[in-house]
Amino acid sequence: MSLKEKLSLDFVTTVKAIGWILVMGWLGTAPAHAQLRIEIVDGVEGATPVAVVPFVWAASQQAPATGVADVVAANLARTGLFEAIPRSQLIERPTEPQDVGFGAWRLVGADYLIMGRVVDAPDGPGLEIEYHLVDVNAETAVLSQALPVRPGGLRFGAHRVSDAIYEALMGVPGAFATRIAYVVVQDSGTDDEVFELIVADADGFNPQAVVRNSEPIMSPAWSPDGRQIAYVSFATGRSNIIVQDLYTGQNRVVSSSRGINGAPAFSPDGRFLAVSLSRGGSPDIWLIDLETNDRRQLTRHWSINTEPVWSKDGEVIYFTSDRAGRPQIYSIGRDGAGLARLTFEGEYNSRASVGLDDRFLALVHSPGNNDFRIGIYDRETERLRVLSDGRMDESPSFAPNGSMILYARRDNGRGELAAVSADGRVRQRLVNSEGDVREPAWSPLLR
């Protein structure tokens, strides 16, 4: 296939994907790709029992097959922190807190009750979700809100409801109304091998191909507003860094210098990309100003310097370097000053992902045997804890609320995604029926 054909394939796919976005508002019911199915492997002891009563449908349009309550119950159960009481045990169907018979719900064993209804938006074409979170033991409403949703946006609205309920119960925002990007390789190892960059809702629904190519696609990274994804493409036969707008479909090559163009990471203000370029002879960390196209070299060392990520305040960059012999995590100021080595435990620590604040870094860790696992490094205690149990685990990506870490693992020679809570108690598998799945990237909180 010629370069021109490859690029036009990229473009056609992009236009198609964007068409889907416009038509479906990202929330369609006809996914073009096999969908990830999230299974709980381990939950916590004594998960909080929650009853989610089916929401009353009072809107003029037809009710969808999957209701708001289904989505909310599945979201809460998936965290492993909550246990959704089966629908068969829901003894009554209140829509308002004053309708609740608390004694009966205590007998069912519910600690919390979620209820509500869907109505036409009072002004405009969309819908509105009215919902209540009720503490059964205290017999009080903890949260009562009405959430407007755009046409076609009901499912995402249900994720926002889940976020608000999670925050009311846990004290930190939920990460349900977010998306994940990942790379799928179809027909892996054959002449028909195709790499796809997929964006899906955080629960695996609505997967859409953003880019498709016969040459490798690597390292997707979200912009802080969730509108753009930077990634590495080999469409030209060499590595290039591309920034693609998910809503307009426009993409541009931001780096195509000699050698490696890899590991893009947006700064928290969205203006800069930290990248790894080997134009100087070996991979070093560079900053690219996306407005002016100016580029500035941050590290100067003959070793491999790659996988940059930004601190939450954008002042520091964490990266992987093997300047001491084996890969370890280092930090450097965005002005190039203050180089420091952070990790010392084990033979191999690489590809950091920053948690809710800069205290925790998720990383790929190997104690020195052939096993590579996801570890979490606590910068305050300087302790490293292994969270995953695979042999080829890689590409950790923190949820924007710091609760879970999404990562890639290999199972019988095939890549799949998994997630583990930051405390290691909750484990999920994200099962994909087809393809070799890898390199997950969790979006920021979407507003």
Partner 1 sequence: MNTGLRFIATVALALVVAACARDVRDEPVAPSAPADGGISQTDRIDARDFSDARNLENPDSILSQRVIYFEFDRSDVRAQFRPIIEAHAAYMDANPSARVSLESHADERGSREYNLGLGERRGSAVRQLLSAGGASSGQMEVVSYGEERPVCRESNNECWQRNRRVEIVYTAR
392: Cα separation from own chain's centroid: 20
Site for partner 1 in 353-392 (CB under 8 A): 364, 366, 370, 372, 391-392
CA distance 310 to 379: 15
Give the total of residues touching partner 1 (CB under 8 A): 41
CA distance 170 to 82: 11
CB of 184 to partner 1, least distance (A): 13
The contacts of residue 136 (CB under 8 Å, 6+ apart) are 100, 102, 105, 106, 110, 111, 112, 113
Which residues in 168-197 are b (16+ Cβ under 10 Å) and which e?
Answer: ebeeebbbbbbbbbbbbbbeeeeeeebbbb
Q: Is 90 helix (H, G, I), strand (E, B) or coil?
A: coil
**Binding of partner 1 at residue 2 (CB under 8 A)?**
no
Nearer to partner 1, 176 or 348 (CB): 348
Binding partner 1 by CB under 8 A: which of 116, 226, 249, 262?
262
CB of 293 to partner 1, least distance (A): 22
Q: Which of these segments, 5-13, 17-25, 51-59, 216-224, binds partner 1 (CB under 8 A)? A: 216-224
Q: Is 344 helix (H, G, I), strand (E, B) or coil?
A: coil
CA distance 138 to 134: 8
Binding partner 1 by CB under 8 A: which of 240, 267, 320, 388?
320
CB of 197 to partner 1, least distance (A): 14
Nearer to partner 1, 68 or 254 (CB): 254
Nearer to partner 1, 370 or 433 (CB): 370
- The dihedrals phi and psi of 163, each to the nearest 5 degrees, come to -60, -45
Enter the tokens of residue 225: 């507003």
Contact 324, 318 (CB under 8 A): no
**Binding of partner 1 at residue 257 (CB under 8 A)?**
no
Helix ranges, 109-177 (H): 154-170
- The DSSP secondary-structure symbol of 188 reads T
**Binding of partner 1 at residue 288 (CB under 8 A)?**
no
Radius of gyration from C-alpha coordinates of the chain: 23
Closest CA to 179 of 409, 406, 434: 406
Enter the tokens of residue 26: 């990202």
Burial of 60 (0-12, 13-18, 19+ CB in 10 A): exposed
**Binding of partner 1 at residue 304 (CB under 8 A)?**
yes
Binding partner 1 by CB under 8 A: which of 14, 306, 331, 443?
306
**Binding of partner 1 at residue 196 (CB under 8 A)?**
no
Nearer to partner 1, 98 or 370 (CB): 370
The contacts of residue 230 (CB under 8 Å, 6+ apart) are 219, 220, 221, 223, 241, 242, 243, 244, 254, 264, 265, 266, 273
**Binding of partner 1 at residue 421 (CB under 8 A)?**
no
**Binding of partner 1 at residue 238 (CB under 8 A)?**
yes
Binding mask 83-102 for partner 1 (x = CB under 8 A): --------------------
**Binding of partner 1 at residue 279 (CB under 8 A)?**
no
**Binding of partner 1 at residue 24 (CB under 8 A)?**
no
Contact 302, 349 (CB under 8 A): no
Binding partner 1 by CB under 8 A: which of 219, 233, 244, 421?
219
CA distance 299 to 339: 9
Nearer to partner 1, 134 or 352 (CB): 352
CB of 149 to partner 1, least distance (A): 38
Q: Which of these segments, 46-54, 101-109, 161-169, 254-262, binds partner 1 (CB under 8 A)? A: 254-262
Site for partner 1 in 428-447 (CB under 8 A): 438-439
- The dihedrals phi and psi of 229, each to the nearest 5 degrees, come to -130, 130
CA distance 291 to 64: 43
CA distance 221 to 276: 14
Residue 316 has a CB neighbour count (10 Å cut-off) of: 17
Q: Which of these segments, 64-72, 99-107, 200-208, 236-244, binds partner 1 (CB under 8 A)? A: 236-244
Binding mask 143-182 for partner 1 (x = CB under 8 A): ----------------------------------------
**Binding of partner 1 at residue 326 (CB under 8 A)?**
yes
The contacts of residue 189 (CB under 8 Å, 6+ apart) are none
Q: Which of these segments, 19-27, 47-55, 278-286, 376-384, binds partner 1 (CB under 8 A)? A: 278-286
Binding partner 1 by CB under 8 A: which of 260, 285, 287, 418?
260
Q: Which of these segments, 64-72, 196-204, 322-330, 424-432, binds partner 1 (CB under 8 A)? A: 322-330
For binding to partner 1 (CB under 8 A), which residues are involved? Answer: 188-189, 216, 218-219, 234, 237-239, 259-260, 262-263, 276, 278, 281-283, 304-307, 320, 322, 326-327, 348, 350-351, 364, 366, 370, 372, 391-392, 394-395, 410, 413, 438-439
